[in-house]
């Protein structure tokens, strides 16, 4: 049996034994990307006509299921949008740090004050879908329409479109090509294939109404995401309806980021090639707890040093 062409088409080599040499501004040893994940109101719910309700993300039990509403879980997400997001916003404001907001279009439309805060502070938007639903459950046409709907909503509510994209959980096999087709994206963070950003190409024929070239050889930047630590919210890789192991019981995951990032920045092989990027994403419903949130400024201050 021979190796299928589709398998050979995967990039299993990457930068290889000799990664490119480059440096961050001011010769920084580590770059930390702070991400505020904002999805409230766009989660699965019978209110949307869905066949399931989203869970808390901290318990293995699925919670109340259709045809009933789940008022308890609804209030969990509502706390995130009413109080949790603002507690995190105050922390970021006081620290005077730029933040990437990975927000769904629906969540921002339901709470325009968050979009206003983003504009005032010039925070970056990472597209996270129209709703907080899985792209891989949609057909190609459905996913394309959903991404286009999200872009239109972002432009209307925020006044600008996202330059990057990140799906819920995992992208579909069509997501990357659709981002190329729709255009306007500089990067996406849906892979875990490297320690540092890398470029990729899409070679599927583009739609005629988007571009008349037969194929696109224009590279797009991919910002790697480590699924295990992506949320950085004390719930490991827990997603609604699934349990997860805590990262740090009393912190946002920044402690792990600091230890990992600084250790990576000190490694000789890293210094010779490329200082690492480390990300911490904080969910508004999970990071709202006052006793946990109070640890965030301490860890942010430590990371900045």
Q: Is the pLDDT of residue 296 over 50?
A: yes
The CA distance from 138 to 69, in Å, is 24
| Local confidence band at 218 (pLDDT 50, 70, 90 cut-offs) | low
Crossing angle of the two packed helices 254-266 and 295-304, in degrees rounded to 10: 10
Q: Report the CATH number of the 28-304 domain.
A: 3.20.20.370
Q: What global pTM score does this model have?
A: 0.78
For 115-153, b/e burial (b = at least 16 CB within 10 A) is bebbeeeebbbbbbbbbbbbbeebeeeebbebbeebbeb
> Which position has the higher pLDDT, 60 or 16?
16
pLDDT of res. 304: 65
Reported as a single tens digit per residue, the pLDDT across 17-40 is 888 777 778 887 777 888 999 999
Could you identify the residue written with the tokens 């109070």? 294
pLDDT band at residue 302 using 50, 70 and 90 as cut-offs: low
Of 177-181, 186-190, 274-278, the poorest mean pLDDT is in 274-278
pLDDT in tens, 251-282: 444 444 444 444 444 554 544 556 666 667 78
Q: What is the mean pLDDT of the chain?
A: 77
pLDDT of residue 185: 92
Question: Which pLDDT band, with edges at 50, 70 and 90, does 195 fall under?
Answer: confident
Assign residue 96 a region (left: φ > 0; alpha: ψ between -120 and 50; beta: otherwise).
left
Which contiguous run of DSSP H or E holds residue 37?
Answer: strand 31-38
Percent of the chain past pLDDT 90, that is, above it, reads 47
Instruction: Give the residue-averaged pLDDT of 154-161.
Output: 97
Alpha-carbon gap, residue 295 to 137, rounded angstroms: 37
Indicate whether 8 pLDDT > 90. yes
């Amino acid at each position: 049996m021979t190796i299928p062409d589709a398998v050979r088409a995967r990039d299993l080599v990457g930068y290889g034994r000799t990664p490119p040499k480059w440096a961050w501004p001011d010769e920084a040893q580590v770059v930390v990307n702070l991400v505020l994940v904002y999805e409230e109101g766009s989660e699965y719910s019978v209110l949307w006509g869905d066949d399931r309700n989203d869970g808390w993300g901290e318990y293995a039990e699925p919670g109340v299921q259709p045809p009933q509403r789940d008022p308890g879980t609804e209030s969990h997400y509502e706390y995130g949008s009413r109080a949790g997001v603002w507690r995190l916003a105050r922390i970021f404001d006081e620290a005077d740090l730029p933040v990437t907001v990975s927000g769904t279009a629906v969540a921002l439309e339901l709470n325009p004050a968050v979009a206003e805060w983003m504009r005032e502070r010039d925070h970056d938007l990472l597209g996270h879908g129209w709703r907080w639903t899985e792209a891989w459950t949609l057909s190609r046409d459905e996913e394309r329409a959903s991404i286009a709907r999200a872009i239109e909503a972002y432009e209307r509510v925020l006044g600008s479109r996202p330059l990057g994209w990140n799906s819920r959980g995992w992208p579909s096999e069509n997501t990357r090509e659709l981002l190329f087709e729709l255009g306007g994206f500089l990067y996406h963070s849906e892979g875990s294939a490297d320690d540092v950003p890398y470029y990729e190409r899409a070679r599927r024929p583009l739609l005629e109404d988007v571009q008349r070239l037969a194929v696109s050889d224009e590279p797009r930047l991919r910002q790697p995401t480590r699924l295990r630590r992506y949320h950085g919210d004390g719930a490991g890789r827990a997603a609604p309806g699934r349990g997860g192991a805590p990262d740090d019981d009393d912190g946002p995951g920044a402690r792990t980021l600091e230890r990992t990032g600084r250790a990576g920045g000190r490694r000789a092989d890293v210094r010779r090639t490329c200082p690492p990027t480390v990300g911490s994403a904080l969910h508004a419903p999970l990071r709202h707890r006052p006793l946990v949130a109070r640890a965030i400024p301490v860890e942010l201050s430590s990371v900045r040093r």
